[in-house]
Amino acid sequence: MATRKAFEIGGQRVAPGTRKTVDVPVSVLSDHTPVSMSVHVVHGRRAGPVLFVSAAVHGDEIIGVEIARRLLKASNLDGLRGTLLLVPIVNAFGFLNHSRYLPDRRDLNRSFPGSPRGSLASRLAEIFMSEIVGRSDLRIDLHSAAIHRTNLPQIRVSPSSLETMALARAFGAPVTITAKLREGSMRQAAQEAGVDVLLFEGGEALRLDEMVVRSGVSGILRVMKSLKMVGNKGIAKPRKPTLLASMSSWVRSPAGGLLRLFKSAGEFVQEDDLLGIVSDPFGEVESEVYAPMEGLIIGRTNLPVVNEGDGLIHIAEIKQADVVEDTIDSLNSQLLADPMFDEDEII
């Protein structure tokens, strides 16, 4: 059998059958501290796809960092076919400052494909595209909801690609949302470069959530299994197939005040169900908030202080009748059932 070539990145070579963390230089801070983007390369002995997993593009979305850490401990990677590139922290500036943004207050995920002569965000985007994204076949980008919000674990994909939809089904998150591409997002830039992207969303910024972490780790391993990058050992099928939704909308606050929400992510609601009540601080004005449609709650605010127009609950249009007894219980039991592969080695 012909030997595979070494994988070269950031001026370093990673031999087949080995793994290495490589620091790709990004910039130097105002106080002379160098900033790099650290890439862990697992270069399999045998040929196969190049999968790229990234987290903390938004620096405060730390759940993906934990998913990445656990993924690297999975024993399934020992006999890897192909190459896994893993960047646990894309936006080191934001990660250090517990912030979504870069120091110039730009959102990295609106700055793609970037330019070597652009803003800091644009330069980082360019390094990222040329060093990593452009060299992968598939990318899984890990996100959480923004600060003070939480998301049910979900995959977002472009509706156009059948192949990507098949990978989303393999991932087996509770829900898959087909969503249009956002201008300047990495998903758009990667797709234009011919790289399939699965965007994982789950949990809350600046918090860890065990079930979301498990859902992420299991999903990535299932995708790797479907691509024949890893064997079957310890990787279970999702208990239920992922639910598909193409439409979702935020229910917004009718007034400013204190919010009491009665529903959680993962619950089904019927049209006109009472979701919550917004009260003024004196309790004189109470505004009830009702569900505008039937669907599954895929996200909600955790901050009880709201202004008029704030997003309270994010509902995906899914009919419960189509799902047969899918309730929060079954979604939760699916998430609890996720760590089927050797948990001892993972935690």
Share in percent of the chain as helix, strand, coil (round to 5) = 25, 30, 40
Stretch that binds Zn ion, among 10-18, 51-59, 287-295, 339-347 (CB under 5 A): 51-59
Residue type, 50: V
Least separation in angstroms between CB 184 and Zn ion: 13
Q: Which DSSP string do the residues of 42-72 spell out, in sequence order? A: EE-SEEEEEEEEEE-SSTT-THHHHHHHHHH
Q: Which residue number is nearest to Zn ion in terms of Cβ?
A: 143
Does residue 263 bind Zn ion (CB under 5 A)?
no
Stretch that binds Zn ion, among 114-122, 141-149, 299-307, 328-336 (CB under 5 A): 141-149
Stretch that binds Zn ion, among 140-148, 253-261, 303-311, 315-323 (CB under 5 A): 140-148
Compute the C-alpha angle 7/10/15, nearest 5°: 25
Does residue 300 bind Zn ion (CB under 5 A)?
no
Which H helix or E strand runs over 210? helix 210-226
Does residue 58 bind Zn ion (CB under 5 A)?
yes
Q: Strands 138-143, 46-55: parallel, antiparallel or unpaired by DSSP?
A: parallel
Q: Comparing C-alpha atoms, which of 24, 25, 22, 42 is closest to residue 34?
A: 25
What token pair was written down for 294? 């039937």
Does residue 149 bind Zn ion (CB under 5 A)?
no
Least separation in angstroms between CB 190 and Zn ion: 15
For the window 93-132, what string marks contact with Zn ion as x by the rule CB under 5 A? ----------------------------------------
In the list 143, 156, 300, 314, the residue contacting Zn ion (rule: CB under 5 A) is: 143
Q: Which residues bind Zn ion (CB under 5 A)?
A: 58, 61, 143
